[in-house]
Amino acid sequence: MSETVKRSNPLIWLIDPLKSTASNADPAYRFTWSQAAWMLPLAIGIAGLVISAVGWATDSHQFYFSYLIGWTFCLSLTLGAYFFVVIQHLTKARWSVVIRRIPEALIWSFPLLAVLGLPIIFGMHDLYHWTHLELFDPASPEYDPILAGKEGYLNMPFFMARMAFYFIVWTFVSFRLYTLSIRQDVTPEAGITAKQRKISAIGLVLGGITTAFAAMDILMSLDPHWFSTIFGIYFFAGSFMAIMAVMVLVSMLLQRNGMLNGVIKVDHYQDLGKFLFGFTVFWAYIAFSQYMLIWYGNLPEETIFYRHRMEHGWETFSAVLLICHFIIPFVVLLGRWSKRLLPLLGFMCVWMLVMHWFDFFWIAAPVLHNEHAAMSMYDISAWLGLFGVFSAAFMYRMSRHALVPQHDPRLAKSLSFTNS
């Protein structure tokens, strides 16, 4: 696609503002998939969003909750990629260089996600109980003294300012790391790697703070009476686990279509599988810690969160989350063999991504359906719709540049990496 056509299309400019360097890539690292790589998920995404639009016309409350869950899922993948990239630069990791372009391409999704998040802004009255102004009026019969005490934080102007700040931080750090990586493909300057490490040091601190607050704002404030001081870590653990699954699946798809064969090896998959297993356990540890501390404290404003998920049919969903998000993956992924058996590893990555979405559903849906457990078809259509558009933008960016940071000084070490 020519630069003239690209710059005349606002959507293309949004998802890829950089000039293509694909023609400069080493033949072994070129993206050779057809346009179907991004046209197919885009078609699925549009179809899912059209179905969801029907939900908006018939039941706006359900639509906004379904949309929020799907959007948060896509945001969590991008944040997981963000943390993976900055951590690899900070630790001077060598093994991951050949797969680092996958999360690097993902982290330029923040501007797209900001635009896709606009429906949530329009639906805040349906989503967030604290946006109802009568709750803060002492003269109103709906007055809530607990929420009134949180008015300084839970108000629309401050919420909007915080969200804008989060996306500005994420986009700035991601853009700097991404553009430096692409520049290194063309002009292998000696100082680029050092610059990436310095930016990553700042990005890790800012990313940790903003991600924790964003998790509280987007998900925890759905139930404004409830609070947890480790909810941000819970969100991070799931996001980092999910990006491992994405990197495995994308790598497999690329190799299935004749790319990066001999570049990404089973040893790299084994390390990704280790992280997938490790952060599945870490997610479960944080989830249990949160539950145990709230149960032990026995404070009504904290226990209400679990009460809503232990009655009216939601206890079945809670059991499914425990068994399918932790127990089954723990047993399957525990052995070294399962991380080197690629069909099984790929299946478990799909499994964990589904459970990652289910985790967000379990957090958000009981707020809407607090009297009975329910799952709507719009939960699925909004998820597939947003993920389809998100995946199409990601695959399009992958086609614009080399699939591997080809002049990274640690590339040779990554290519010869072995996992004992």
Per-residue pLDDT of the chain (420 residues; tens, 9 = 90+): 444 444 445 555 455 656 667 666 677 788 888 888 889 999 999 999 999 999 888 889 999 999 999 999 999 999 999 999 999 999 999 999 999 999 999 999 999 999 999 999 999 999 999 998 888 888 888 888 888 888 899 999 999 999 999 999 999 999 999 999 999 888 888 789 999 999 999 999 999 999 999 999 999 999 998 889 999 999 999 999 999 999 999 999 999 999 999 899 999 999 999 999 999 999 999 999 999 999 988 888 788 899 999 998 999 999 999 999 999 999 999 999 999 999 999 999 999 999 999 999 999 999 999 889 999 999 999 999 999 999 999 999 999 899 999 889 999 999 999 886
Amino acid present at 70: G
CA distance 150 to 366: 22
Is there a domain that residue 325 lies in? yes
Is there a domain that residue 54 lies in? yes
Contact 86, 405 (CB under 8 A): no
Structural domain including 188 reads 3-406
Instruction: Domain count for the chain, please give it.
Output: 1
| Three-class DSSP labels, 111-136 | HHHHHHCHHHHHCHHHHCHHHCHHHH
Is there a domain that residue 416 lies in? no
Is there a domain that residue 420 lies in? no
Is there a domain that residue 417 lies in? no
Query: How many Å is the Cα radius of gyration of the chain?
Result: 22
Is there a domain that residue 7 lies in? yes
pLDDT digits (tens, 9 = 90+) for 279-298: 999 999 999 999 999 998 88
Name the residue among 184, 154, 170, 56 with its Cα closest to residue 113: 170
Is there a domain that residue 214 lies in? yes
Is there a domain that residue 411 lies in? no
Burial of 318 (0-12, 13-18, 19+ CB in 10 A): middle
Burial of 387 (0-12, 13-18, 19+ CB in 10 A): buried
Q: CA geometry: angle at 140 spanning 138 and 146, to 5°? A: 50
Phi, psi of 130 (to 5 degrees): -70, -5
Contact 30, 398 (CB under 8 A): no
